Structure 1
Amino acid sequence: MRSAAASCWTEAVQPTLALEIPGNDEYRALRTAAGLSLMTAEGAAIGLAASWSSVCVRHAGELIGMGRVVGDGGLFLFVVDIAVTPAWQGKGFGRRIMQALMDDIRARAPSRAMIGLIADGTAHELYAKFGFRHVAPGAHGMLLRLS
């Protein structure tokens, strides 16, 4: 059983952000906790290893937020998996994750690279703060999910 002192210390620990790739199980659990679709363990194992950039936010070792960039690294990059567990939403972690990913993109991607994303719900408001703009009506985002 935890002592009261140990419990207070854990609560005082501030979440930390680091450029790292999450583990398969924690990645899949955070996606579903944050309301994103469930991914297969097989797909996650392949996809996570191919991350161009990845950020994790941890509190006392537990994954509470993440974001990744995938793509060819030269011409096209795509921001994916921006997720924060519900207990930590609304505290600026989505913005911190995006800032870390954008800092990495600006540091490593060549000029004229195209950075894309699909914004769920009202997330477009966050992404607009980083310079992302709707492409319609000149273009339309499309998605096909294999079953």
Structure 2
Amino acid sequence: MSDDDATRSDLYVIREELPDPETFAHLREAAGMPPRSLEGIERGLPNSLFGVVAVHEPTDEVVGMGRIVGDGGTVYQISDMAVHPDHQGQGLGTRIMAALESYLEEAAPPDAYVNLMADVDGFYERFGYEETRPASKGMYRRTE
């Protein structure tokens, strides 16, 4: 890492907290993720098992996030990984994911199932995640 890269990275801190609902919605939109209703966000965020935000220290702006949802014992899902496009390329996604992985290493019992829906090729594989096919396939549906 060059001195310039280190200086840019030092502008950010990862905090163990969840974003407020408006920031959550804004980061999803900025990252090109499907929207969630404010009602759903307000209900869902407090039910998170763990979450982190990336904060741009000079402005105190939350510019990235990730969280873990699940039952706290057998199933964990990494969810809502997003970094604002203006702050991508700084290693924030990697730092967010590393914080989530640290939580899982401490909190998840042996043989827990950790899943995620990947929208970036090659990123999550670095953390040991694999496609489930052909053994299973990911599926979803949205409520109206």
Same fold per superposition (TM over 0.5): yes
Q: CA deviation at 1:102?
A: 0.4
Task: Find the aligned partners of 2:143 and 2:45 in 1 and give their Cα distance.
Answer: 18
Aligned length: 135
Task: Find the aligned partners of 1:12 and 1:109 in 2 and give their Cα distance.
Answer: 29
User: Is 1:133 the counterpart of 2:130 in the alignment?
Assistant: yes
Task: Find the aligned partners of 2:16 and 2:81 in 1 and give their Cα distance.
Answer: 14
What secondary structure is seen at the aligned counterpart in 1 of 2:80?
A: strand
In structure 1, the partner of 2:55 is 58
User: Is 1:92 the counterpart of 2:91 in the alignment?
Assistant: yes
Q: CA deviation at 1:34?
A: 0.8
In structure 2, the partner of 1:33 is 30
Residue type at the aligned position of 2:81? I
Q: CA deviation at 1:138?
A: 1.2
* Structure 1 unaligned regions, length at least 5: 1-10
Residue correspondence of structure 1 range 9-20 to structure 2 within 5 A: 14-20=11-17
Q: CA deviation at 1:115?
A: 0.1
Residue type at the aligned position of 2:127? F
Q: Rg larger in 1 or in 2?
A: 1
In structure 2, the partner of 1:82 is 81
What secondary structure is seen at the aligned counterpart in 1 of 2:138?
A: coil
Contact preservation (8 Å) 2:9, 2:91: no
Task: Find the aligned partners of 1:102 and 1:12 in 2 and give their Cα distance.
Answer: 20
Q: CA deviation at 1:12?
A: 10
In structure 1, the partner of 2:102 is 103
Task: Find the aligned partners of 2:35 and 2:132 in 1 and give their Cα distance.
Answer: 27
Identical-pair percentage: 37
* Structure 2 unaligned regions, length at least 5: 1-7
TM-score by length of 1: 0.88
In structure 2, the partner of 1:42 is 39
> RMSD of the alignment, in Å?
1.5
User: Is 1:67 the counterpart of 2:66 in the alignment?
Assistant: yes
Task: Find the aligned partners of 1:95 and 1:13 in 2 and give their Cα distance.
Answer: 14
Residue type at the aligned position of 1:118? M
In the TM superposition, structure 1's runs of 4+ consecutive aligned residues that sit over 2 Å from their partners are none
